Amino acid sequence: MTVSPIGVPQKPYQGAVFSLPNLKRFGQIGTAVRLSIDWKNTYGAGDNLPALAIIASFLTGSNANIPQTFVPVSVYINNLGSNVPIYIYFPDSQYEIVCPANSEGWFQVTTNSALAWIFGLNFQTAFPVSSTIIFTDIVVPNYVNNAVPQAVSNWLASLNIGAGGGANVATITPTIAGSGYANGGLSITGGGGSGATAQGTLDQWGRFVSVMVTDGGNDDYTGSPVITPTASNTVAAFNGSTTYTNGELFLLNGTIWTWDDPQGVEIILSSIPYTSYPGNAYPLPAGTQALIGSNVVVATQSIPAQSFWPSLSRVLGPTTPTNNSGGWVNSGIASPASAQFSSTLTTPTAPSSIQASGFNAPALGDQPFARAVAITGTGVLIDNVFKSPFGSGFIYLTEADWIVALGSAALTAAVELIASDGTLAFGQVDLISAAANSQPGLQMKLRGNIRLDATKQWQIKCAAFTGTGTLTVNFMHTFTYSQF
């Protein structure tokens, strides 16, 4: 199982189940059952319901065209135009199918039931999703159309295309709410851009429930930034001798608690016992707190001398928190957890205006990079080649040409594309310059999809240099950033 649907909010399938009996395909005769799902308009999937499972039973209702013995063995999923993958889970066999975002295809099924859970994660209101799903008891070979998802994912992720500029941060969504945070402040770094700001909203347990982007940035983001809370989520242990104000969090017996008095009164656990108040201290003003037994009580009005305190007071709660006692509330949440976030960037301009490098054919996601560097010794030649690190994903280096210009002497250099943690992209490359009357030309040419970790920073470095003089090298790359 790739992703578990357990715990995902569930809704029954709504609408008619269309069936086609006596379907003939590949020399077989069977039944096809089609479901149409409008995730946003019919089921409410979006920012307020980012995860949703649709429970579909094909044999319910009065559709006489579906045989009572119908069990699917293949399924077609049309998930084109969607930015989220769609999963189908068969609870009897725990078999699961995943149809990638912006794709369609046929998938074989392992089940003995006519019941399926169809679910998706990370739905967003701004990007509505509709899915067409056809179940059949005819065996259809597995086939997935990968052309569209490859092109679209590269287009959406490589935001330098179009006019050659970048993008802004459009939305930020908590993927893990965390807990125990003191405020909703957020730091936005990386992604090749700058200037974006955002503010999160917390619930009473310090969990991020939503994020509002207050400034999208300076039009220079090329990949997903890293979003980090600026406030710590350290929660102090319960202190039985202190004062607790409304909303204050603390840890007790392994879970997070808070003080939440309906009238907003703070509780003073170090209050003087009622019997200890001297007679000449009266009258006691309203709001005075005292201990009566194991409870803290507060005077609801001025208490004169010789008056019966409990009749003029209200119980706030016990000195040791317990569930459903006074204003003490237990969240059931264990020690504070860290929050995590996902983000989307503004959509690039029309993909027909891709800015290509000039030494390779234009393609969706084609990011040009060309620079001439004079090498005179060892050290970093080009820092942060791809404007990484990004929050996630990969850099696909589709072409790399390293060309040595004419040199006046025999010079050599060992050059490498290396990450900040020491990872080499493809090992060292020896570059050689001969006498001025010769032309070494191209020293290295790589083509393909060399996948590099986009969460690392990459640089071109000269690891060794021999000879005296200057070795001029033209470094030219074509690459794309993808979240997949």
What is the reported pTM?
0.43
Rounded Cα–Cα distance for residues 466 and 267 (Å): 76
Give the residue carrying structure tokens 């169809």: 118
pLDDT of 279 reads: 60
CA 237, 211, 83, 193 dihedral sign is negative
Q: Which residues pair with 295 in a beta bridge?
A: 292, 318
Mean pLDDT taken over the chain? 80
Cis omega (within 30 of 0) for bond into 283: yes
Average pLDDT over residues 411-421: 89
Average pLDDT over residues 433-437: 57
pLDDT of 419 reads: 93
Q: What is the DSSP string of 103-141?
A: -EEEEE---SSSEEEEEESS-BTTB--EEEEEEESS---
CATH class of 10-145: mainly beta
pLDDT of 352 reads: 37
Cis omega (within 30 of 0) for bond into 50: no
121-169 per-position pLDDT tens digit: 888 887 778 898 999 988 888 877 654 444 434 333 343 333 334 578 8
Average pLDDT over residues 433-451: 62
pLDDT bin (cut points 50, 70, 90) of residue 237 is: very high
190-234 per-position pLDDT tens digit: 887 888 999 999 999 999 999 999 988 887 777 778 999 999 999
Question: Among residues 232, 176, 230, which one has the least CA distance to residue 198?
Answer: 230
Average pLDDT over residues 436-450: 61
Residue by residue, what is the 3-state secondary structure of 321-356? CCCCECCEEECCCCCCCCCEEEEEECCCCCHHHCCC
Backbone angle region of 357, left / alpha / beta, with phi > 0 → left and psi within -120 to 50 → alpha: alpha
Strand pairing of 441-453 and 394-404? antiparallel
Written as six digits, the tokens of 72 are: 């699917």
pLDDT of 273 reads: 86
Residue range 355-482 in CATH 1.10.3470: no
39-68 per-position pLDDT tens digit: 999 999 988 888 889 998 876 554 557 888
Q: Is the model's pLDDT at 353 over the cut of 70?
A: no
SS3 216: coil
Looking at the chain, the domain(s) classified CATH 2.60.120 span 10-145, 355-482
280-322 per-position pLDDT tens digit: 667 788 898 888 888 999 988 888 776 666 778 899 999 999 8
DSSP 221: B
Q: Is the model's pLDDT at 436 over the cut of 60?
A: no
Question: Among residues 398, 384, 416, 373, which one has the least CA distance to residue 477?
Answer: 398
10-32 per-position pLDDT tens digit: 999 987 777 777 777 667 888 88
Rounded Cα–Cα distance for residues 189 and 183 (Å): 19
DSSP 310: G
| Chain length of the chain | 484
Rounded Cα–Cα distance for residues 165 and 221 (Å): 9
Q: Is the model's pLDDT at 277 over the cut of 80?
A: no
Written as six digits, the tokens of 381 are: 């030649």
Q: For residue 370, give every residue at least 6 positions away whose Cβ sits within 8 Å of its Cβ, in sequence order, or none.
A: 357, 358, 359, 474, 475, 476, 477
Q: Is the model's pLDDT at 354 over the cut of 50?
A: no
* Angle value at C-alpha 140, between 139 and 143, nearest 5 degrees: 150
